């Protein structure tokens, strides 16, 4: 994203120009400098240049849409977790670069609003909300994935379980060295992107990065090898993690808690399904950044109301 006042030239006639192609504006970079904006001096030049610009514009637009999907998924997971938190967190404290989380015994029904009184620091809040939630977030995101991923026409979607570099100062109590973290790799054309909506638990604010950048900056050892690929991720499965846990559970108390989580998950799924049956993915993901964020804001508000009502009625 250029921040200087450098003079730009029309992609068609070369004259000084400033009207940016709105289709690909502010696209994320895959390689350094590969998402610079395209400008025109007038609509006529833009029209004449379209056959040339089209492939690049469409590829950049896919990146923008993928980034927006990541933004929505992360916002949805955080909103959901803040109202239907499945862990009994009783205290949190930063000490020596480590975030110490204290957990109480599991109560029933096992889900409740996140204890907002424990911190006013947004980053620490997110870290606690997303701690150990990478799998749950994938499954929770299933109805969103189902409706939105087709808009970017991904060639493959793969789950990766990779060892992460432990990060200071967000290292969490008892985090093992190089903890294994579940992320999603999405292939758009010949580009490989990493979607990581729960990376904040390791101090990563970014939810979308090119694979090569993610490898270099987040992964212990710096390379994602074949052994970390878990195959084509079933983006249609919204309950697989909980169903498996319920099958394995030994105690009635645990089964009760997991069943409550499953009901909450399905309640969210129903809502998300209805929401995205009423608005097409392309419409939801398009428009200006401001328009898009306002759509996400309204979605998030609805999720919070929905889940708060659900928890209090249970």
Positions touching Zn ion (CB under 5 A) are: 10, 12-13, 21, 23-24, 41, 45, 57
Nearer to Zn ion, 26 or 255 (CB): 26
Nearer to Zn ion, 24 or 73 (CB): 24
- Contact 111/263 with Cβ under 8 angstroms? no
Nearer to Zn ion, 12 or 269 (CB): 12
Q: What are phi and psi of 118, to 5 degrees?
A: -80, -20
CB contact burial 160-193 (16+ within 10 A = b; e otherwise): bebbbbbbeebbbeebeeebebbbbbbebeebbb
- Contact 223/210 with Cβ under 8 angstroms? no
**Minimum distance from CB of 71 to Zn ion (Å)?**
20
- Contact 256/109 with Cβ under 8 angstroms? yes
- Contact 185/193 with Cβ under 8 angstroms? yes
**Minimum distance from CB of 77 to Zn ion (Å)?**
31
Distance CA 35, CA 78 (A): 29
- Contact 17/41 with Cβ under 8 angstroms? yes
**Minimum distance from CB of 16 to Zn ion (Å)?**
9
Nearer to Zn ion, 13 or 113 (CB): 13
Nearer to Zn ion, 58 or 279 (CB): 58
**Minimum distance from CB of 212 to Zn ion (Å)?**
24
- Contact 311/264 with Cβ under 8 angstroms? yes
**Minimum distance from CB of 27 to Zn ion (Å)?**
8
């Amino acid at each position: 994203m250029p921040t200087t006042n450098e003079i730009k030239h029309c992609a068609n006639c070369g004259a000084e120009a400033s009207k940016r192609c709105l289709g690909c504006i502010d696209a994320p970079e895959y390689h350094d400098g590969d998402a610079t904006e395209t400008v025109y001096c007038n609509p006529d030049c833009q029209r004449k240049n379209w056959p040339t610009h089209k492939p690049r514009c469409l590829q950049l637009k896919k990146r923008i849409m993928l980034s927006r999907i990541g933004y929505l998924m992360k916002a949805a997971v955080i909103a959901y977790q803040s109202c239907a938190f499945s862990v009994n967190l009783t205290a949190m404290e930063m000490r020596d670069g480590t975030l110490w989380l204290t957990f109480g015994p599991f109560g029933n029904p096992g889900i409740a609003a996140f204890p907002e009184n424990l911190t006013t620091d947004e980053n620490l809040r997110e870290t606690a909300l997303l701690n150990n939630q990478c799998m749950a977030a994938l499954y929770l995101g299933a109805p969103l994935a189902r409706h939105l991923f087709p808009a970017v026409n991904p060639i493959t979607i793969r789950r990766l379980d990779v060892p992460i570099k432990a990060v200071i100062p967000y290292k969490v109590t008892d985090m093992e060295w190089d903890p294994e973290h579940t992320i999603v790799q999405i292939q758009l054309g010949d580009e490989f992107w990493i979607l990581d909506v729960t990376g904040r638990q390791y101090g990563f604010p970014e939810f979308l990065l090119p694979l090569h950048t993610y490898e270099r900056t987040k992964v212990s050892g710096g390379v994602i090898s074949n052994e970390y690929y878990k195959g084509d991720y079933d983006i249609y499965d919204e309950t697989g993690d909980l169903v498996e846990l319920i099958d394995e559970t030994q105690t009635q108390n645990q089964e009760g808690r997991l069943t409550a989580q499953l009901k909450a998950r399905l309640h969210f799924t129903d809502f998300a399904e209805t929401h995205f049956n009423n608005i097409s993915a392309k419409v939801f993901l398009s428009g200006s950044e401001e328009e898009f964020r306002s759509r996400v804001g309204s979605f998030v508000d609805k999720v919070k109301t929905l889940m708060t009502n659900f928890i209090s009625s249970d």
